Chain A
Amino acid sequence: MKEFRYMGKDIPRPDAADKASGKAHYIHDLERPGMLYGKIKFSDHPHARIKHIDTSKAERLVGVKTVITGYNTPEIRIGFLRDNFAVKRDKVRQYRDEIAAVAASDPDIAAEAVELIEVEYEPLPGVFSPKEAMKKGVPLVHEIGPDGKPKTDNLVPLVYHHESGDMDTGKREAKFMAEGEYSTPRVQQCCMGTAGCIAEFDTNNNLTLWAKTQIPFLAQRDFNRALREMGLQGKNTRIIIPTLGGGFGTGLDTHAYEYIAILLAHQTGRPVKVLYTRDEEFAYLSPRQSSQTKIIQGCDEEGRLSFRHVEVLQDNGAYTSWGATYPTVMMMPATSLYRVSNICFDAKLIYTNNTYCQAMRGYGNPEHTWALESNMDKLAEEAGIDPYEFRLINCNEPGDTTPMGLKISTCGLRDCIENVAKKLDWKKKRGKGKFRGVGMASLIHVGGGARIYRSDASGLILKLDDFGNVNVYHGGVEMGQGLHSVLTLGVAEALGIRPEKVFINPTDTGTCPWDVGTHASRGAFMACNAAIIAADKLRKEIFEYAEELFPKEVEKNLNKYVKKNPDYKPPDFNVEKEAKQDRFELCDGFIFIKDAPQESWLRLELGRLLRAIHFRSQGQMLTTEVFYDPHNELPDFDKGYGNISATYAYGTQGAEVEVDIETGQVKILRMVAAHDVGKVLNPLALKGQIYGALAQGVGYALYENLESQEGKILNPNFRDYKIPRVSEMTFPIDLEFIETDDSLGPFGAKGVAEPGLVPTAPAIANAIYDAVGIRIHELPITPQKLLAELKKLGKTKK
C-alpha cells in the first residue's frame, strides 16, 4: 500500500480545541439583531377535527408580535410525499401536529402565549399499530392521498419489492429452514444539541436560514418551494450551518418547525429563532421507525443458503419523511449479506396516528440486520452447524455481484468474521453454558455513497491564498462525526501542504458547491475523493506556473544564501533546464524538483510561488472546483435492482455476555468490532465513530424504546428514556480494522459512520442465546422480557 504523510496518523480534529473551550457556536448560541423567539402550539389529540382556534388571548399578551395558524398563513406542503403541512388546518393526525405558533420578544413570553391558545376539537378514533391500521373499516389517517385522490386504506403509497431466482427451487433445495418474526422499537436519535433554526428575510424577501440540517441543498430546494407557496416567486433561500450538536439522521428532512420559523419571520419582518427543548425534541421530533420483520431462510445439507423470504411492516406514523425509504437500505442486507440466490423481499409502510418517523443512523439496516442475523443463528442451529462456521460457508467474496446487482469490489467479511472469532476465543467459549455466552453478527452497508436521489454528487472548491493556505468550500455537513477532520487531512495529503494550512469554511449554500447531503456514510468518501481530484488539478496548475517562475524565485534564494555564505559553491544543477512540469513535487507546502540536490535554496515555499503568480501583470489567483459524482446507479426500487453504491462496507461484531438469571440483567463482558474500512484515514476519528456507534447499538439492544400509548409519547426525557451512560460502557471493546484498500475509495477508504451500530443488537442477542438458550424477538432485550422467558423455562432459582 502507498505510504501516506498524514493519512493513517492520529491527528486531532481541527475543531476540537474550540469545542474543548466553549468557543464552538451552536444554534443555541446564535442571535441576530432584533431577533424574536418562536414557540409552537402542538395538538392535544392524536386524531381530531379542528373546530375552532382562538388566538385572541395570546395576541393580547404584551411582547407577542404575531400568532399564526393554518388559517392566516398559506398552505405549505412538506415531507417526502408532501402529505404533511407546515401548520395544520381542519384535522390533526398525531399529538405533535402543529396547530399554531407565536413569535415574541422573549422565549418565556412565547411559551406563555402558546398556553393561551384555545383549540376546540372533535376527537376522532385513531389507529395506533400497523396491523390494526391495515384492517378493513378502520379510521383513515389521510382521507386524501398525496396524489389528490381519495384514499381507501392506510397504506403509504410506496412500493419496495425484490425478487430474484426462484423461491420454489430455493425451498426445494433447502434441507433446513428457520422462520421468525422480529421487531424493533421507535428510538430517539438523542442529539445532545436539540433542534432549532433562525429564519431571517432581507428587504427583498430573500431568506437566510441558520439550520440544523444534513441536506443544505435539498433543504434549499424545499424552502424555495415554500417561498413560492407563500407568494414569494423567484425568491431564494441561503442556508448556513452552525456547529451541530449531533445529527444521526435528524437533519435528512426539512421540518415543520423550520417552515414555521420562516412564516413567523415573514409575518413580523424580524429574525425568528425556534429552538426545541429536550421534551419537545423527544415528543415532537421524528424518531427512528419501528419495524416488524418476518423472515424465513433455508440452507442445504452443507449449510449453503438456498433461499430467503422477507416481509417488512413499518409504522410510518401520520406523515411521510425520507425515513420511509428505509426499505431501499433493508434490501441491501436482505439480498446481499451472505451469498443467497433465491430471494423475495417485500416492505410495506402503514400510516398510523403515532408520531411520524424519520431517518436515524443505519437507515433501516440495524432493523433488518437484527432480524436477519438473529435468524441466521437459528438456521445454523437447525442445520447443526456452528454459527461462526455457518457464516464463513456463506461469506461474500470480492468480485461477487449480488442478486440486487451490488458489485462487491473489495470485501473483508471473511477476515472480519475470523477476527471476531479469534478475539472472542470462540471455539473455547461457545456453547459452554453457565449463563455466559458468545455471539456474533455481520453487516453490509453502503461505503461509497448511496444513490437514492437523481444525483449522488458532491462539489468542492479549493481556493489558495497568498500565504500558501487553502480555503475549502464543501457542501457536506460536519455534525460531529469528523468530516472536516478527514477532509482537512485529505486536502493536505492530496495537495502536499500541512494540515494546519487547510481551512474548512462553514457549510453555506451561498458559498459552497452542491452536495446531496451527509447521509449513508458518504461524507468522507465523497469529500476526500473530490479533494483528490481538485488537488490534482491545482497541483497541475501550480507546476505549470512553476516552470516559468520557480527558477527566478530560487535564484533569489540562492543570491541571498550566497550573500550570507560567500564561500558557498552551488552544485552543478541547471535549474531552468530541470524545471519542467512533470519534475516538480509539492510536499508540506514546499515546491522542489524531484531528484534535485538537497539544497535549502532549491525549495520554494508555496506562498512565495503563489504571490509571484498573483502580483504581476495579468496576475492570477488559483482556485479550482470539482463536482464528483461516484460510480454508482440509481436502483429501480420497484424491482429492487441496481448498484446503489460505488463500494460496500462489511463488518462483524461479537459479544460475550453474562445473564443474571435472578434479575434478567445482561452484562456485556466484552465486545469485538471488526470492520472492513478500506483504509484507516484518521485512527482517532475512526475509533470514535465505531465506539460511539457501538454504544448506540448497545442502547438499541438492551434498553432504548420511545414508548407511546395511543400516540402519546410516554418517556420524553432522559430520566425515562435511557441512553448509555459512561457506567454502561466499561466493558473492553476490541476494534479490528480490516484494510481492503478499495480502488474507488479515497486513499482506499470506505464509509464507516453507520456500520458500527448495525450488527450490535443481533451480536448481543446471539450471545444471550448461547448463554441461556433464550431468543428474544423484540428489541430492546429488557430484563423483564428475559426474566419472563427464564421463568417459563424454569431457569430461575425461584
Chain B
Amino acid sequence: MKTEISFFLNGSKVIVPVDGHHCLIDILRGPLGLTGTNEGCREGECGACTVIVDGLAVNSCLYPALEAEGKNITTIEGLQGPGNELSLIQQAFVDNGAIQCGFCTPGMIMSAKALLDSNPDPSEEDILEALLGNLCRCTGYVQIVDAVKQAADKLKDKS
C-alpha cells in the first residue's frame, strides 16, 4: 500500500509514493534517482548513506521514508553550486587527498556539513564526534579530518 508524501529535497519540493517499509535511502536511490547516497550496511553502522534532515545528519538506511513528510532534506547532490562548482567542504576533501575509493565520501561530507552548519568553529573533538558514525576503510581518516578542519577555516574566513 503506497502513500504519497512530499518534502523539500535539495531545495525543491518533491512528491513521491512510498511503501510503509521503505527507508529514506530507498526513495532517494529508487524513484528519485539520487545514487550519490550510498548503501554500505543497511543497519546504521557505516554512515555511507548519511543525509541531512532538517539540519541533522541521519542514516538514511534507517530513517523511515514516511517520516520525511514535510521535511527539508539535503543529499550530496544538493551541495554543488552552478556550473558544477564544488562546495567548500567538497573541495577540501578533494584538495586534502581525503578520497580514495569514494564510497564513504558522500556520507562523510554530509556529516561534516551538518557539523559545520551548526558549529562553524568546531574543535578537533567536535569533528571526531561528528565523523564517529562514518566508516572509511581506505584513508585511515587522517586526511579526512584535515579536510574538515580546512573547510572550517575557509568557512570562517568567508563569513
| CB 8 Å contact bits of B51-88 with A (1 = contact, 0 = none) | 00000000000000000000000011101100010100
| CB 8 Å contact bits of A1-39 with B (1 = contact, 0 = none) | 000000000101101111111111110110000000000
Q: A12-B94, A193-B40, A717-B45 are in contact. Are A19 and B105 (CB under 8 A)?
A: yes
Nearest chain A CB to B37 CB, angstrom units:
7
Nearest chain B CB to A695 CB, angstrom units:
3
Q: In whole angstroms, how far apart are the Cα atoms of A340 and B101 in the complex?
A: 40
Q: In whole angstroms, how far apart are the Cα atoms of A248 and B137 in the complex?
A: 10
Q: Does A696 contact B (CB under 8 A)?
A: yes
Q: Does B11 contact A (CB under 8 A)?
A: no
Nearest chain B CB to A697 CB, angstrom units:
9
Q: In whole angstroms, how far apart are the Cα atoms of A194 and B38 in the complex?
A: 11
Contacts of B101 in A (CB 8 A): 19, 191-193, 243-247, 479-480
Interface residues of B in 100-159 (CB under 8 A from A): 100-106, 109, 124, 128, 131-132, 134-145
Interface residues of A in 63-115 (CB under 8 A from B): none
Contacts of A727 in B (CB 8 A): 128, 132
Choose among B41, B75, B94, B143 the residue that contacts A20 (Cβ–Cβ < 8 A): B94
Q: A21-B76, A687-B97, A688-B100 are in contact. Are A729 and B142 (CB under 8 A)?
A: yes
Interface residues of A in 191-229 (CB under 8 A from B): 191-194
Q: A277-B42, A278-B42 are in contact. Are A726 and B99 (CB under 8 A)?
A: no
| CB 8 Å contact bits of A718-745 with B (1 = contact, 0 = none) | 1100011111011001000000000000
* Inter-subunit contact B39/A243 (CB<8 Å): no
Residue of B with least CB distance to A719: B45
Contacts of B90 in A (CB 8 A): 17, 20-21
* Inter-subunit contact B77/A21 (CB<8 Å): yes
Nearest chain B CB to A112 CB, angstrom units:
13
Contacts of A194 in B (CB 8 A): 40
Q: Does A130 contact B (CB under 8 A)?
A: no
Q: A15-B102, A21-B77 are in contact. Are A28 and B39 (CB under 8 A)?
A: yes
Q: How many residues of A contact B (CB 8 A)?
A: 56
* Inter-subunit contact A726/B141 (CB<8 Å): yes
Q: A688-B139, A717-B41 are in contact. Are A16 and B128 (CB under 8 A)?
A: no
Number of A-B contacts (CB under 8 A): 172
Contacts of A21 in B (CB 8 A): 36, 76-77, 79-80, 84, 86, 90, 106
- B: contact size bracket: 35 or more
Interface of B (DSSP majority class): loop
* Inter-subunit contact B137/A696 (CB<8 Å): yes
Which of A10, A190, A193, A730 gathers most chain B CB within 10 Å? Answer: A193
Q: Does A481 contact B (CB under 8 A)?
A: yes
Q: A192-B48, A277-B42, A729-B142 are in contact. Are A685 and B36 (CB under 8 A)?
A: no
* Inter-subunit contact A718/B135 (CB<8 Å): yes
Contacts of A612 in B (CB 8 A): none
* Inter-subunit contact A193/B140 (CB<8 Å): no
* Inter-subunit contact B41/A13 (CB<8 Å): no
* Inter-subunit contact B139/A20 (CB<8 Å): no
Q: A692-B140, A719-B43 are in contact. Are A20 and B109 (CB under 8 A)?
A: yes
Choose among B37, B103, B134, B139 the residue that contacts A692 (Cβ–Cβ < 8 A): B139
* Inter-subunit contact B38/A26 (CB<8 Å): yes
Contacts of A22 in B (CB 8 A): 34-37, 75-77, 106
Nearest chain B CB to A722 CB, angstrom units:
10
Choose among A23, A277, A691 the residue that contacts B36 (Cβ–Cβ < 8 A): A23
CB-defined A-B contacts under 8 Å, sample of 13: A10-B97, A17-B86, A20-B93, A21-B36, A21-B106, A24-B102, A193-B40, A193-B103, A243-B101, A245-B38, A482-B100, A717-B45, A726-B145
Nearest 10 A/B pairs, CB to CB: A22-B36, A480-B101, A19-B102, A684-B97, A695-B140, A245-B103, A691-B140, A718-B45, A22-B76, A192-B103
Apart from A16-B99, A22-B77, A192-B104, what are 16 other A-B pairs with CB-CB below 8 Å? A10-B97, A17-B84, A20-B99, A21-B80, A22-B76, A28-B35, A192-B40, A194-B40, A482-B100, A684-B143, A688-B100, A691-B143, A694-B140, A696-B137, A726-B136, A733-B142
